[in-house]
Amino acid sequence: MTDVMGQLFESIVARQRATVLPGRYGGDDDKDQLAFAMSGTSVTLLLGLKVFDDDGGFKLNTSDAGVLQYSPAWIEAVIDELKMSPSTMFEAVKIQETWDAGTLVAGVICFNSETQQVSVHRIAIR
């Protein structure tokens, strides 16, 4: 199921003209992926793929170190991680710039296993 979810996430973000960033970014069993999209000076991060629970909600996960996804500490850790590779330096710089300016947009891509529908939800991060 995990490979299928990863493939579904990659397909969805490709339609959003986003790029899947290398690595995994927490979640159940550290499976969540993260994508980067830029339009003009606007930067959007998309996290997923989350599965809706029985109540129709989803949960951001906390790392073993106690850092919640999309918290300031998590975003800073993502930026630091991306800065470690020349291939993701551009994304790291753009995320940092928009984070510092307070304009970074955060979203979570969710899957409803009952209806087989996918949706994107904007998350307030400040």
Which CATH number characterizes residue 36's domain? 3.40.1350
CB count in 10 Å sphere of residue 103: 12
Q: How far apart, in whole angstroms, are the C-alpha atoms of residue 112 and residue 52?
A: 5
Q: Is the peptide bond before 46 cis (omega within 30 degrees of 0)?
A: no
| pTM > 0.95 | no
Q: Do the strands 19-20 and 33-39 form a parallel or antiparallel pair, or are they unpaired?
A: antiparallel
Q: What is the number of domains present in the chain?
A: 1
Range of the domain at 29: 2-55+64-123
> From first to last of its 126 residues, what are the pLDDT tens digits of the chain?
458 888 999 999 999 899 999 988 876 666 899 999 999 999 999 999 998 888 889 989 988 778 899 999 999 999 999 999 999 999 999 999 999 999 999 999 999 988 999 999 999 987
